[in-house]
Amino acid sequence: MFQPSNRIIIVDNQKSELETLGKSFLENGLGCRTFLYDQEYTPPLQNIRIAFFDINLTSKTVDHSYTSSEDLIKFNSPIFNDLATAINLYIAKDNGPYVLIFWTANKDIVPAFIEYMQETKRGFSETASPVFISYIDKPAFLFKPDSTELSNKVIEQLNNEKIKFLFDFEDKVNSAGEKTINKIYDIIPKEKKWGENTVLFENLGKILSKIAASTLGFSHSKQNPGKAIFEGLLPLLNAEISNATNNTNWKTILEPLFSASAPHKLTSPDDLIQRKVNAVFHIDKPNGHKITRGSVIEINKHITSIHRLFGIDSIDDWFDKLIPFKQGKEKEKEHTRSHSMLIAIELSAACDYSNDKHRINKYILGFKTPVIDVKNNIDKNSRIESSYHVAGANFHYEKQDFQIWLNLNFVFGTRPIDPRLGNQVFILKKEIMDMIGNKYAGHVSRIGITSF
């Protein structure tokens, strides 16, 4: 549980200089990890948010004799290579966002080092890329270790608006977690005698058990207690985060939101980003259980006459009615059809799934297709009433871009051992399953018209 925090690290090859910068953090009440540079250090660290590196980490000497970046790179390549290697030694490639601050006497060559890293042929393309780069001038502080100037300079760097905004949410979440624990602790009955805690932990177990069962259901909470507790505490965490004091200048950060005149004016940086966002919010990894609500399951195509088992004579005709392409778009239709996967999605009622009621699982039939340009390729007038393009959205998951199309008239009940059901592909989360459930309920309860 208790692990060293990698949030702030300092890497230097001089112990005395390392201690000088580390002391400045302690004076400001900030925890950090100091590393005397080791060329064999392993494994790389995760979740670093601020990294201080000395530029000159070996016995090699920086050559300041040149002014152009080209010459600085040419005559300092060994030092740049050592520094790039050091960053990869200490910071994992999938570390996430971090700030890189050079603690150096060689601040003038920082721009040249950035250019050096940007040249892909040098082999450092996958190095974790900092979101912000700055420096602290080592000679200005090194010989004044007792001065408050270095501490003030560190705080100044950490208070940069770009840094504060990027990591403010992380701070708020950590603080919300602390306050949530305090709230739970405050409501738990405890012993009156100082230092005794038997009753405390007995009641903690009772309260958390009640939260777990109420959130995920009695049986499911036993199968996955961690998920049950974390989901159960989310409302408390959400309240703490929402009510936290926030000094962020939102009009600066959210300029597109405040300048937009209508919702459709808000756009993602590109389509791929939006697809990834959709997947993060709405897709969970498979858990191997086909009875899980929201399970997207590939229909086993190896069974003879699989389509007839669903009352479908021609799967191609069924596809064409569900996703009708415009005339002249035959090439696009054939490509989409040949690269689509026939799927079923577990559609049990949320309460039935939560309470693990004995039931025939309900599944809805459809396709997982490549991304279709709906506006230009689909004939909306020919789409059957039961055709549903889920959320009207595109997704990017496991290196694939796709859409989900369902036929609301093809809902069937079966058990997970049904040979028609193949592998679980992924799981759709609760919010989007509620959307599908509402869409299906609206479809089956629509008012019919009798003609005379």
Res 428 pLDDT > 80: yes
Whether the CB-CB separation of 402 and 395 falls below 8 Å is answered with yes
pLDDT of residue 303: 67
Residues 21, 254: Cα–Cα separation, whole Å: 35
Interhelix angle for 149-158 vs 161-187, to 10°? 90
Inter-residue contact 422 to 297 (CB < 8 Å) = yes
Question: How deeply is 450 buried, as exposed, middle or buried, from its count of CB atoms within 10 A (0-12, 13-18, 19+)?
Answer: exposed
Cα separation of 164 and 119, whole Å? Answer: 30
pLDDT at 44: 95
pLDDT band at 390 (very low <50, low <70, confident <90, very high): very high
User: Which 8-state DSSP code applies to residue 111?
Assistant: H
The model's pLDDT over 246-259, given as tens digits with 9 standing for 90+, comes to: 777 777 778 888 88
pLDDT at 448: 67
Both tokens of 216, joined, read 């995920």
Architecture of domain 8-159: 3-Layer(aba) Sandwich (3.40)
Q: What is the pTM (predicted TM-score) of this model?
A: 0.72
Q: Provide the residue ranges of all domains of the chain, joining segments of one domain with +.
A: 8-159, 165-259, 270-444
The pLDDT-based confidence of 279 (bands split at 50, 70, 90) is very high
What is the average pLDDT across 412-429? 92
- DSSP, collapsed to helix, strand or coil, labels residue 69 as helix
Confidence bin at 3 (pLDDT 50/70/90): low
pLDDT band at 313 (very low <50, low <70, confident <90, very high): confident
Phi, psi at 133, each rounded to 5°: -125, 135
Return d(Cα 39, Cα 314) in angstroms, integer: 64
Alpha-carbon dihedral sign for residues 84, 90, 95, 100:
negative
Question: Is the confidence at residue 36, as pLDDT, over 80?
Answer: yes
Residue 240 vs residue 167, higher pLDDT: 240
| The pLDDT value given to residue 304 | 57
Q: Is the separation of the CB atoms in 26 and 34 below 8 Å?
A: no
pLDDT tens-digit profile of 316-332? Answer: 899 999 999 999 999 99
Mean pLDDT of 159-186: 80
HSE-up of residue 440 (Cα within 13 Å, Cβ side): 25
Percentage of the chain exceeding pLDDT 90 = 43
Tokens of 135: 């420096």
Angstrom distance (rounded) from CA 107 to CA 55? 8
State pLDDT tens for residues 77-123.
Answer: 999 999 999 999 999 999 988 989 998 888 888 999 999 999 988 98
Phi, psi of 328 (to 5 degrees): 90, 0
